[in-house]
């Protein structure tokens, strides 16, 4: 996934947006030069949607994110057709069936247009939006969680009818816990039933030509272009994140949605309508992590650090720090640190020291 630019939609500490974008470009540069078949990153509309955005914001912000990534890679000297075919997308599929299908149809049209007209791509593979769908975790409720089985089944079916390349179907306990093996298996069987028993995957874009869906696709696309135009006027996606505008748009939409749920305008079955008293024994089985797993992980890493060549590890980490400070080519230095048996945490500590780390305050 390699989501380095995500602080505007995930409330975790992160690299500052501009530095996160640089690191993304570094990764794609190295992969393009050394691992041309590696899928370098997924641009994640799913994160944006789960943070509270609506479908149009999810689409527009993801496209703007993609534009910013391409610009960064071009700045590093890469030709667009050398790296764009290895970019992909992870998007959400929510409950509004037709709007979500229209969003994904508009997504493909927009990405092709951006690559062809904005960046002069010539390869058809550069213009192809390869989309992975994650059914919408934030639509799944703690109340009457078995209802979530229906939600994820409809979302999975809709994603297939929208013509995506791969799907993750949530377990119905997504809102409660990490799923048990049985709950995970049911999510897998949902996909397999759609695949083998409905014949829906045999048709590409089966709803194309519907007057309603075509008109809705046009409306969703135009609304997303309007948001992208606004982002361009603000200096691009990274600048719009740094100013706090992007996060502000997401938070405003999140507040509006929750007010609609609280008022009953937006129906959530089992939450604000059709509630029932739930007996404790009706709740799903709980997944627990054995504490010895953590103990074993600590033991392994302690032994790893104890038995390595400490001087060699320190030299490699110091060299990585020097390369980062000089705004140099990071990936070879990172690989040398790995070969010197530095841990992921130690390498990240160096990058945090060089590029900054913390919560976005805007």
pLDDT for 6-56, tens place per residue? 888 988 889 999 999 999 999 999 999 999 999 999 999 999 999 999 999
Question: pLDDT tens digit string along 185-219?
Answer: 999 999 999 999 999 999 989 999 999 999 999 99
CATH of 17-282, one of 3.30.565.10, 3.90.870.10, 3.30.200.20, 3.20.20.240: 3.20.20.240
Radius of gyration over alpha carbons of the chain, in Å?
Answer: 22
The 3 state secondary structure assigned to the chain is CCCCCCCCCCCCCECCHHHHHHHHHHHHHHHHHHCCCCCCEEEEHHHHHHCCCCHHHHHHHHHHHHHHHHHHHHHCCCCHHHHHHHEEEEEEECCCHHHHHHHHHHHHHHHHHHHHHHCCCCCHHHHCCCEEEEECHHHCCCCCCCHHHHHHHHHHHHHHHCCCCEEECCCCCCCCCCCCHHHHHHHHHHHHHHHHHCCHHHCCCCCCCCHHHHHHHHHHHHHHHHHHHHHHHCCCHHHHHHCCHHHHHHHHHHHHHHHHHHHCCCCCECCCECCCCCCHHHCCCCCCCCHHHHHHHHHHHHHHHHHCCHHHHHHHHHHHHHHHHCCCCHHHHHHHHHHCCCCHHHHHHHHHHHHCCECCCC
Task: Please choose, from the candidates 87, 80, 97, the residue with its C-alpha nearest in 3D space to the C-alpha of residue 165.
Answer: 87
Find the mean pLDDT for residues 67-79: 97
**Sequence ranges of the domains in the chain:** 17-282, 291-355
Enter the pTM of the model.
0.95
Find the mean pLDDT for residues 75-101: 97
Question: pLDDT tens digit string along 237-279?
Answer: 999 999 999 999 999 999 999 999 999 999 999 999 999 999 8
Find the mean pLDDT for residues 121-144: 97
The Cα 131–Cα 167 span in angstroms is 9
- Choose the weakest-confidence range: 30-39, 159-168, 277-286: 277-286
The Cα 21–Cα 60 span in angstroms is 18
Q: What integer pLDDT is reported at residue 6 of this predicted model?
A: 87
């Amino acid at each position: 996934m390699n989501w380095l630019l995500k602080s505007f939609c995930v409330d975790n500490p992160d690299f500052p947006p501009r530095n996160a974008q640089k690191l993304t470009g570094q990764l794609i540069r190295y992969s393009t030069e050394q691992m041309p078949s590696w899928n370098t990153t997924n641009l994640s509309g799913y994160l944006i949607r789960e943070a509270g955005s609506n479908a149009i914001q999810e689409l527009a912000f993801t496209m703007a994110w993609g534009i910013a990534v391409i610009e960064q890679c071009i700045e590093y000297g890469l030709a667009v057709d050398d790296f764009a075919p290895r970019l992909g997308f992870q998007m959400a599929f929510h409950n509004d069936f037709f709007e979500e299908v229209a969003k994904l149809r508009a997504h493909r049209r927009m990405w092709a247009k951006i690559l062809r007209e904005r960046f002069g791509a010539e390869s058809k593979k550069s213009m192809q939006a390869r989309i992975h769908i994650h059914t919408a975790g934030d639509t799944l409720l703690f109340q009457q969680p078995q209802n979530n089985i229906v939600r994820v089944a409809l979302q999975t079916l809709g994603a297939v009818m929208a013509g995506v390349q791969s799907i993750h179907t949530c377990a119905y306990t997504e809102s409660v816990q990490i799923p048990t093996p049985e709950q995970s298996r049911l999510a897998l069987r949902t996909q397999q039933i759609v695949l083998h028993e409905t014949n829906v995957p045999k048709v590409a874009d089966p709803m194309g030509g519907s007057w309603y869906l075509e008109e809705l696709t046009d409306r969703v696309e135009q609304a997303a272009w309007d948001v992208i135009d606004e982002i361009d006027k603000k200096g691009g996606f990274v600048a719009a994140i740094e100013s706090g505008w992007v996060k502000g748009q997401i938070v405003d939409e999140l507040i509006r949605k929750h007010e609609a749920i609280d008022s009953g305008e937006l129906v959530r079955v089992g939450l604000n309508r059709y509630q029932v008293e739930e007996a404790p024994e009706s709740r799903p089985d709980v997944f627990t992590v054995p504490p010895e797993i953590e103990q074993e992980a600590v033991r392994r890493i302690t032994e790893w650090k104890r038995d390595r060549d400490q001087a060699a590890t320190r030299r490699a980490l110091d060299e990585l720090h020097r390369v980062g400070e000089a705004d140099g080519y990071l990936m070879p230095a990172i690989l040398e640190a790995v070969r010197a048996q530095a841990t992921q945490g130690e390498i990240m500590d160096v990058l945090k020291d060089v590029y900054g780390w913390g919560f976005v305050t805007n």
